[in-house]
């Protein structure tokens, strides 16, 4: 049998130290066999758990719930650099790290099963406890949340025992006393037969557990068809909204500047959900309560049947660094929140509205920003279509002039009229400001940073914004020289960004151009550089370029 492979179950080769003492070559179980048993066990438990969660219509599978709980527990001082470094990949990286951690745990459980039955169980208890805690903190009830966790845990225990039984039998044979040399032929034949039976049994069990895992995975996919159902319902909607018609003069005429209207596909996406909520219009419900005279409970159709308002509104994320692209402008359609609050009857003394998403995310918004003349709305449409699921379908909040972390709740299901002293919202509990009006900013889009251009007259262009205040002027400066006034595009009102362009003369060589804006109150954009935490970045955007 020297050198002959036997899969994951092998025999010690004749000529080993044991043989030299007159013993028969013994079978051995490799670390790979035990580790493989642990990994397949873990995957089977995850698949069964996901299928049960999908069958119960729980938005988060346990692995998603754990990932989102990590996001909720991570301090803002860690989240912000992660967003800055990873951008839209931040959730993918987090999920990858969670998966790697799970695989490491499953490998450990398999290896520990070689020596103990309770040590692997302890690992599974810890994983199940973390999953259950994550589901409970996401709003899932104990009764509902415990079912997918329990199903996964039972699968882990049973599958590991089934897969490791042949490995244990093989290990037990190695502990038996062996015959002297004269009995070796008979004993060798017996051990060879037992070895083959154990090997085949192990492979058959791997195939069976693997098949169960695939079936559970497929079943989970079939049961989680909600997204497809909601997408189909969304596409069938005929909302009384108008298509976007970009106003004349908004485009400044310089190629390379970001479009004044941002398409739904290009609009930035920032949220904390690993699996975004999928809510069918017929299942949607909004509650308006708290310091009001009468509580309102509204269905999606209730909102559609009301008079709708429409407006061009620019939104930008507080995580947008100087010169960043976490900003977009769209044609929004919805119901004015001021009308709903007036109908509910806000009581004296209230100064805030606590918004809550279907995924449990919260933010606090100044009541004044929801009731003044700005077009704060419960948005139903974006760029002439029903909201995309990723952007908050069926209903999200839009508040011009405020950063999204204090205003722009997606998948909005609850509005509580209250006081800032009485609650702490998601991001404010992580060191961000309680109130965060958008800060004036300007950005250079043309030329690209580090670009080579022809010397002489160079066209510079970009965008500037000061939502709900408006931009009155934009200036550029090359190499710290005098400021040159830029031409501004037209805007329908102060709640959108504006395109700008300027022409400058440059000599051959290396240069740097900077931009600053002035708002309609006469305030000039500050050159002081500040980080995005706690309430938005400041500073002039500047880029290097080379004139040939």
Q: What CATH number does the domain containing 499 carry? A: 2.60.40.650
Distances (CA, A) of 40 to 18, 200, 223, 444, 465: 33, 17, 22, 52, 53
Q: How many other C-beta atoms can be found within 10 angstroms of the C-beta atom of residue 177?
A: 5
Question: Do 426 and 463 share a structural domain?
Answer: no
Backbone angles phi, psi at 514, to 5 degrees: -125, 155
Residue at which a domain ends, from 430, 452, 477: 430
Distances (CA, A) of 508 to 110, 446, 456, 546: 67, 18, 8, 7
Question: Do 217 and 72 share a structural domain?
Answer: yes
Cβ-contact 547, 511 below 8 angstroms = yes
Q: How many other C-beta atoms can be found within 10 angstroms of the C-beta atom of residue 109?
A: 25
Question: CATH number for the domain including 309?
Answer: 3.90.420.10
Q: Is residue 253 part of a domain?
A: no
Tokens of 161: 């025992």
> Containing H/E element for 547?
strand 541-547
Residue at which a domain ends, from 409, 430, 451: 430
Question: Do 457 and 424 share a structural domain?
Answer: no
Q: Is residue 351 part of a domain?
A: yes
Question: Do 517 and 413 share a structural domain?
Answer: no
DSSP state of 56: T
Backbone angles phi, psi at 262, to 5 degrees: -95, 130
Predicted TM-score (pTM) above 0.75: no
Using CA atoms, how far apart are residues 156 and 46, in angstroms rounded to an integer?
9
Distances (CA, A) of 221 to 247, 266, 501, 513: 44, 28, 51, 52
Question: Do 35 and 94 share a structural domain?
Answer: yes
pLDDT in 10s for each residue of the chain, 548 residues: 333 333 444 444 444 444 434 334 444 557 888 999 999 999 999 999 888 887 666 666 778 778 878 877 777 777 777 777 777 677 788 888 888 999 999 999 999 998 888 899 999 999 989 888 887 876 666 766 788 889 889 999 999 999 988 888 777 666 555 544 345 455 555 556 666 667 777 888 888 888 988 888 887 776 566 667 888 889 899 999 999 999 999 999 999 999 999 999 899 988 887 778 889 999 999 999 999 999 999 999 999 999 999 999 999 999 999 999 999 999 999 999 999 999 999 999 999 999 999 989 999 999 999 999 988 999 999 999 999 998 999 999 999 999 999 999 999 999 999 999 999 999 998 889 999 999 999 999 999 999 999 999 999 999 999 999 999 999 999 999 999 999 999 999 999 999 999 999 999 999 999 999 999 999 999 999 999 999 999 999 999 999 99
In terms of residue numbers, what domain contains 359? Answer: 281-430
Question: Do 192 and 66 share a structural domain?
Answer: yes
Find residue 510's DSSP bridge partners. 546
């Amino acid at each position: 049998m020297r050198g002959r492979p036997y899969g994951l179950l092998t025999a010690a080769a004749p000529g080993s130290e044991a043989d030299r003492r007159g013993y028969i070559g013994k079978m051995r179980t490799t670390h790979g066999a035990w580790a493989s048993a642990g990994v397949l066990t873990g995957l089977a438990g995850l698949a069964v758990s996901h299928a049960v969660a999908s069958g119960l219509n729980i938005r988060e599978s346990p692995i998603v719930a754990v990932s989102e709980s990590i996001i909720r527990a991570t301090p803002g001082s860690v989240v912000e650099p992660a967003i800055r470094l990873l951008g839209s990949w931040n959730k993918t990286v987090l999920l990858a790290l969670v998966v790697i951690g799970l695989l490491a745990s499953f490998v450990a459980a398999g290896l520990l099963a070689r020596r103990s039955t309770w040590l692997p169980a302890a690992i599974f208890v810890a994983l199940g406890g973390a999953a259950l805690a994550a589901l409970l903190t996401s709003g899932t009830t104990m009764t509902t949340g415990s079912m997918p966790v329990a199903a996964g845990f039972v699968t882990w225990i049973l599958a590991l025992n089934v897969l490791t039984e042949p490995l244990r039998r093989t290990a037990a044979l190695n502990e038996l006393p062996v015959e002297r040399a004269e009995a070796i032929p008979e004993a060798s034949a017996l051990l060879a037969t037992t070895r083959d039976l154990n090997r085949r049994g192990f492979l058959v069990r791997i195939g069976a557990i693997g098949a169960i895992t695939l079936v559970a995975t497929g079943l989970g996919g079939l049961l989680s068809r909600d997204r497809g159902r909601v997408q189909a319902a969304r596409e069938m909607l005929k909302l009384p909204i108008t298509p976007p018609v970009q106003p004349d003069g908004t485009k400044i005429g310089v190629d390379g500047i970001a479009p004044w209207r941002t398409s739904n596909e290009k609009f930035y996406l920032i949220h904390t959900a690993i699996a975004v909520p999928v809510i069918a219009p017929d299942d949607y419900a909004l509650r308006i309560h708290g310091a009001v005279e009468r509580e309102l409970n509204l269905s999606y159709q209730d909102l559609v049947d009301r008079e709708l308002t429409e407006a061009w509104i620019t939104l930008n994320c507080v995580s947008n660094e100087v010169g960043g692209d976490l900003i977009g402008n769209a044609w929004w359609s919805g119901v004015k929140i001021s009308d709903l609050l007036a109908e509910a009857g806000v009581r004296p003394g209230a100064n805030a509205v606590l918004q809550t998403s279907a995924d449990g995310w919260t933010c606090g918004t100044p009541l004044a920003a929801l009731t003044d003349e700005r077009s704060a709305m419960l948005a139903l449409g974006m760029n002439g279509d029903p909201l995309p699921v990723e952007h908050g379908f069926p209903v999200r909040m839009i508040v011009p002039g405020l950063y999204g972390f204090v205003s722009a709740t997606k998948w909005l299901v609850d509005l509580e009229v209250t006081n800032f002293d009485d609650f702490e919202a998601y991001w404010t509990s992580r060191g961000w400001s309680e109130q965060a009006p958008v800060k004036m900013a300007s950005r250079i889009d043309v030329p690209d940073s580090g670009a080579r251009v022809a010397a002489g007259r160079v066209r510079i262009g970009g965008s500037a914004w000061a939502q709900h205040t408006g931009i009155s002027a934009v200036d550029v400066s090359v190499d710290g020289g005098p400021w040159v006034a830029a031409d501004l595009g037209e805007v329908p009102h102060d709640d959108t960004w504006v395109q700008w362009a300027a022409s400058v003369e440059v000599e051959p060589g290396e240069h740097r151009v900077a931009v600053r804006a002035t708002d309609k109150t006469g305030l000039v954009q500050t050159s002081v550089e500040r980080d995005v935490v706690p309430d938005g970045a400041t500073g002039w955007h500047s880029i290097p370029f080379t004139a040939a």
